[in-house]
Every structure is written in C-alpha cells, then in structure tokens.
Amino acid sequence: MKILFLNGSPNPDGATAAILSVIQGAAEEKGHICRCICLGEMDIHFCVGCKSCYETGTCCQQDDMDEIHAAMEEADVIVMGLPSYWGDMPGHAKTFIDRTTPYCDTNAGHSSFSDGKIGYAVAVRAGPTTRESDHLIASIEHFYGHLHIEMKGSAYLTLADTKEQVLARKEEVLAQCSEWF
C-alpha cells in the first residue's frame, strides 16, 4: 500500500515528526511505500474565505496545496499527526484543512478523492491528560469524514514534549499501531 504521513507540526524534526517516523518505520518494514510531508515546510497560504471552491471544486490560489492533494489522491492510507498547540492544532494544520475545502462534501461542486481511502490519527502533547489528545484526534476524524476517508484508528502520547521523549517510548507507540497496516 501507499501510505502518506502528514505532519501537522511546523517543526520537521520535532515530537510529531518522531512519532510519525516510528510508525513509518514499522510500515516500511512491512513493505509499504511511504512518504511524509511536513506541512510547516510547504508553501500554504491562508484560505481567503471567498467560497468560490463551493462551486468550482478548485481553489483560486496556487501554492503547494496542489502537490499535497495530489499526494493524498495517490495514497491508499493517510496518517495525520498533530501536536497540541494551546490545546488545539497548530496554525499550519488548520490552514491546510481550510484549504482542503474544495474537497469538502458539504458543497455542491466539490472535488473528490478516490473511494476506499483509510485514515489514522496521531496526537502528541506535553501535558499529562488525554483530553487535548482526544480533541486533536476528533478534529482529524472530522476532517477525514468530509473527505470520505474512513478513520480506522488512532494513537497518542501525552507527556511528550520533545523528539527524544517520543523516541524513548517507541514500544508504546508501536503497540498502539500494531494492527494498522
């Protein structure tokens, strides 16, 4: 299978990148073809709210969103990871979701990804409780739902403020995603 990892942190070498790399490594060991995109490294402009995509299924702006959407179309499985920034997703990730509105099924003229895609959600945060992780995972599930990507599972780490802290808990991450691919 082709698996696309979407790192919703602006940091390409942080905790979210680390947890996704652990999962990607497990997927590659099983022979899957993987690609990871860090949203913070892409040129993604803010949605301007013009709503022209409601009718046209395309965005009036041109930047790296076309490349990301093409990668999503190519993938059989999408794994989106988010860190908690102020109890919510980072701005890069929210902008990416806003800019995926041309594919949102609530609008008459929406574009569509191919049927049959599977999604997984991953969350990391520095704090100790699961409430923020649950919120991040629910946001990803909501996003997938409007794109007809079937969410099949999730994983999270609390008390994970750095890449090193994540990598020290590799087995805990692998235990959560052992049935995914």
Ligand X SMILES: Cc1cc2nc3c(=O)[nH]c(=O)nc-3n(C[C@H](O)[C@H](O)[C@H](O)COP(=O)(O)O)c2cc1C
The site for ligand X (CB under 6 A) is made up of 9, 11, 14-17, 83-87, 124-127, 132, 160-161
Q: CB 180 → ligand X: shortest distance, Å?
A: 20
Tokens 């947890």 map to which residue? 19
The DSSP-derived string for 106-155 is TSTT---PPTT-EEEEEEE-SSS-SHHHHHHHHHHHHHHHHHTPEEEEEE
Q: Which is nearer to ligand X, 5 or 85 (CB)?
A: 85
Nearer to ligand X, 84 or 154 (CB): 84
Rounded to a whole number of angstroms, the minimum distance from the CB of residue 61 to ligand X is 25
Q: How far is the CB of 165 from ligand X (least distance, A)?
A: 8
Residues 6, 9, 15: CA angle, nearest 5 degrees: 100
User: Shortest approach of ligand X to residue 83 CB, angstroms?
Assistant: 3
Of 14 and 102, which has the nearer Cβ to ligand X? 14
Q: Report the residue number whose CB is nearest to ligand X.
A: 14
Minimal distance, residue 7 CB to ligand X, in Å = 7
